[in-house]
């Protein structure tokens, strides 16, 4: 699964569900139909600790956490929003003295030598597309065995290697291209936040604030499930130990028989509690899902801000600052005892708060673009925007072959580009616009009448317009 590390969640799910599981089933290899990579390899109590340390609680981030902590190669995190960097700092703070480096630091090599020798974890941040060749023996784990100990060559110096040493690399590049030499030595993990993943993270945020009782139940449930599974593992280990050390007839071994009876009773109780916990978990998920419209709107608005960097590289917005803004919106939005009203108030308040917060840092010419993008993204998420109309609005009508196109009846009044757009609009979006143009023939004047037919759902836009719009333009004989 580590080879799927660079890909987003949709691609990983497609690999498992559409490629690997059908092949495994076809070969007759036993496999779970509802296989979940993150839950298969992650212990719930470990995941909860990761979440406390700052790892987002969605399944995509949990998969990333598994790959980072259980992979055999050192991880390289593609982390433009800095979530992975923050998680590693908090996680390793408890385990030892974390050494934070950049490849441009003058004493980077000396500090790496000390960390390797004393087993301190190292975080190298702001990695670009090329990595310093001096780190190649560390990345490829080219150990030199010296008696019972290990050493590694760093530059022209051999350094004793402590097995407790850990290395993490993070990059703020959004879409880096690493050479095969780098890709084969590290595990590339995609920590870039996607809309679906951010939606899951913000759902946890809003549930924590709006329904702290649900959040408490969820944490208690995680602890209970982890304790139940640990008890089952301990019982299995105890029985295996008794069986391996048993001598003589097993039927005469009263200790083993009593332990078996006790284990059976405990196992039944734990299994029953796990079933109840699973049902409770589904109820908690259902209750939390009611707040999904809030997290969906907040996720959409963040990516509107994120994409503003394409307009001007100066427009950079921190995810942490945006989450703080979302928390302020939850706190200050009008209250209501009705959930649907509360969600409506939250969405309206946060949408306007995001516009106010962002427009302060924009040039005047880009403020209208921001409000347009917010409006369009919200309409798209609600399936209220016709994609064909939107594409035509952005690009206009591109005509490759004018042989079948009606002749422009008044080139002096309608430019070729405008005529292309009129004709293409009628062909591409026929339900939206019906155009008829009449040009009475005259040697000295041209009178054009244009009829625009609009469907009922758009009629309010043209409420102040007369049914027939007539434009008369007079030109000389030439």
- Residue range 258-274: average pLDDT? 80
d(CA 408, CA 416): 8
Q: Is the pLDDT of residue 304 over 70?
A: yes
Question: Do residues 187 and 5 lie in contact, with contact meaning Cβ atoms separated by under 8 Å?
Answer: yes
> Which residue would you say has higher pLDDT here, 325 or 236?
325
pLDDT at 475: 44
pLDDT at 388: 82
Percent of the chain whose pLDDT exceeds 90: 24
Q: Is the pLDDT of residue 447 over 60?
A: no
Q: How many Cβ atoms sit within 10 Å of the Cβ of residue 305?
A: 23
> Which residue would you say has higher pLDDT here, 435 or 232?
232
Question: Do residues 173 and 153 lie in contact, with contact meaning Cβ atoms separated by under 8 Å?
Answer: no
Question: Do residues 53 and 87 lie in contact, with contact meaning Cβ atoms separated by under 8 Å?
Answer: yes
The pair of structure tokens assigned to 57 is 């609680």
Residue 341 backbone zone (phi > 0: left; psi -120 to 50: alpha; other: beta): alpha
pLDDT at 313: 87
Q: In what order do the strands lie in the sheet with 186-190?
A: 99-101, 122-124, 167-171, 74-78, 186-190
pLDDT at 443: 46
> Which residue would you say has higher pLDDT here, 221 or 158?
158
Q: Is the pLDDT of residue 74 over 70?
A: yes
Using one digit for the tens of pLDDT, what is the confidence trace for 280-291? Answer: 878 888 888 889
> Which residue would you say has higher pLDDT here, 35 or 428?
35
pLDDT at 299: 93
pLDDT at 471: 46
Q: Is the pLDDT of residue 453 over 70?
A: no
| CA-atom Rg of the chain in angstroms | 32
CA nearest to 193, candidates 370, 41, 317, 352? 317
How would residue 473 be classed by pLDDT, with cut points 50, 70 and 90? very low
Q: Is the pLDDT of residue 445 over 50?
A: no
CA distances from residue 283 to 206, 226, 313 in whole angstroms, order as listed:
17, 19, 44
pLDDT at 60: 86
Beta pairing partners, 153: 158
> Which residue would you say has higher pLDDT here, 162 or 232?
162
Q: Is the pLDDT of residue 54 over 90?
A: no
How would residue 432 be classed by pLDDT, with cut points 50, 70 and 90? low
How would residue 39 be classed by pLDDT, with cut points 50, 70 and 90? confident
How would residue 297 be classed by pLDDT, with cut points 50, 70 and 90? very high
CA distances from residue 44 to 3, 90, 222, 279 in whole angstroms, order as listed:
23, 18, 6, 17
- Residue range 361-373: average pLDDT? 92
pLDDT at 362: 92
CA 32 and chain centroid, separation:
26
pLDDT at 273: 78
- Residue range 20-24: average pLDDT? 90
Q: Is the pLDDT of residue 469 over 50?
A: no
Using one digit for the tens of pLDDT, what is the confidence trace for 312-353? Answer: 889 988 888 999 999 999 999 999 889 999 999 999 999 999
- Residue range 128-156: average pLDDT? 87
CA nearest to 297, candidates 320, 329, 265, 337? 329
Q: Is the pLDDT of residue 23 over 50?
A: yes
Using one digit for the tens of pLDDT, what is the confidence trace for 117-141? Answer: 998 999 999 998 888 888 898 998 8
pLDDT at 358: 93
> Which residue would you say has higher pLDDT here, 300 or 33?
300
pLDDT at 167: 93
- Residue range 247-275: average pLDDT? 78
Percent of the chain whose pLDDT exceeds 70: 89
Half-sphere exposure in the Cβ direction for 236 (13 Å, CA): 6
pLDDT at 170: 94
Q: Is the pLDDT of residue 35 over 90?
A: no
Segment among 71-85, 108-122, 207-221 with least mean pLDDT: 207-221
pLDDT at 454: 60
Secondary structure string (H, E, C) spanning the chain: CHHHCCCCHHHHHHHHHHHHHHHHHHCCCCCCCCCCHHHHHCCHHHHHHHHHCCCCCCHHHHHHHHHHHHCCCEEEEECCCCHHHHHHHHHHHHHCCCEEECCCCCCHHHHHHHHHHHCCCEEECCCCCCCCHHHHHHHCCCEEEECCEEEEEECCEEEEECCCCCEEEEECCCCCCCCHHHHCCEEEEECCCCHHHHHHHHHHHHHHHHCHHHHHHHHHHHHHHHHHHHHHHHHHHHHHHHHHHCCCCHHHCHHHHHHHHHHHHHHHHHHHHHHHHHHHHHHHHHHHHCCHHHHHHHHHHHHHHHHHHHCCCCCCCCHHHHHHHHHHHHHHCCCCCCHHHHHHHHHHHHHHHHHHHHHCCCCHHHHHHHHHHHHHHHHHHCCCCCHHHHHHHHHCCCCCCCCCCCCCCCCCCCCHHHHHHHHHHHHHCCCCCEEEEECCCCCCCEEEEEEEECCHHHHHHHCCCCCCEEEEECCCCC
To 10 degrees, the CA torsion angle through 77, 83, 84, 87? 170
């Amino acid at each position: 699964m580590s080879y799927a590390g660079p890909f987003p969640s949709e691609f990983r799910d497609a690999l498992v569900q559409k490629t690997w599981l059908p092949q495994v089933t076809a070969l007759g290899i036993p496999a779970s139909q509802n296989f979940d990579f993150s839950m298969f390899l992650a212990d719930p109590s470990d995941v909860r600790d990761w979440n406390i340390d700052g790892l987002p609680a969605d399944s995509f981030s949990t998969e990333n956490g598994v790959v980072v902590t259980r992979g055999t190669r050192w991880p390289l995190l593609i982390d433009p929003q800095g979530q992975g960097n923050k998680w590693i700092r908090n996680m390793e703070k408890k385990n030892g003295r974390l050494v934070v480096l950049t490849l441009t630091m003058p004493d980077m090599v000396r500090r790496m030598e000390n960390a390797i020798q004393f087993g301190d974890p190292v975080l190298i941040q702001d990695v670009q597309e090329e990595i310093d060749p001096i780190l190649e023996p560390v990345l490829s784990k080219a150990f030199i065995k010296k008696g019972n100990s290990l050493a590694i060559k760093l530059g022209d110096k051999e350094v004793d290697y402590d097995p407790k040493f850990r290395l993490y690399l993070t990059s703020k590049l959004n879409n880096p291209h690493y050479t095969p030499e780098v890709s084969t030595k590290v595990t590339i993990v995609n920590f870039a936040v996607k809309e679906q993943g951010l939606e899951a993270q913000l759902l946890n945020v809003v549930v924590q604030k709006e329904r702290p009782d649900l959040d408490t139940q969820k944490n208690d449930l995680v602890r209970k499930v982890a304790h139940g599974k640990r008890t089952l593992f301990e019982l299995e280990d105890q029985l295996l130990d008794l069986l391996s050390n048993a001598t003589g007839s097993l039927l005469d071994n009263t200790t083993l028989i009593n332990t078996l009876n006790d284990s059976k009773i405990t196992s039944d109780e734990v299994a029953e509690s796990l079933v109840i916990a699973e049902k409770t978990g589904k109820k908690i998920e259902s209750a939390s899902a009611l707040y999904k419209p809030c997290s969906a709107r907040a996720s959409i608005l963040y990516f509107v801000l994120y994409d503003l960097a394409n307009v001007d590289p100066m427009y950079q917005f921190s995810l942490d600052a945006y989450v703080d803004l979302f928390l302020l919106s939850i706190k200050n939005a009008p209250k209501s005892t009705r959930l649907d009203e509360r969600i409506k108030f939250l969405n309206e308040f946060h949408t306007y708060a995001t516009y106010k917060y962002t427009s302060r840092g924009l040039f005047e010419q880009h403020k209208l673009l921001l409000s347009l993008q917010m409006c369009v993204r919200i309409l798209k998420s609600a399936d209220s925007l016709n994609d064909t109309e939107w594409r035509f609005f952005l690009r206009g009508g591109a005509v490759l072959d004018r042989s079948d196109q009606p002749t422009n009846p008044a080139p002096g009044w309608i430019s070729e580009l405008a005529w292309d757009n009129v004709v293409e609009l009628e062909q591409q979006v026929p339900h939206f616009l019906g155009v008829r143009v009449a040009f009475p023939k005259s040697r000295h004047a041209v009178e054009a009448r244009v009829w625009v037919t609009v469907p009922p759902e758009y009629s309010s836009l043209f409420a102040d317009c007369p049914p027939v719009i007539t434009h008369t333009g007079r030109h000389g004989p030439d």
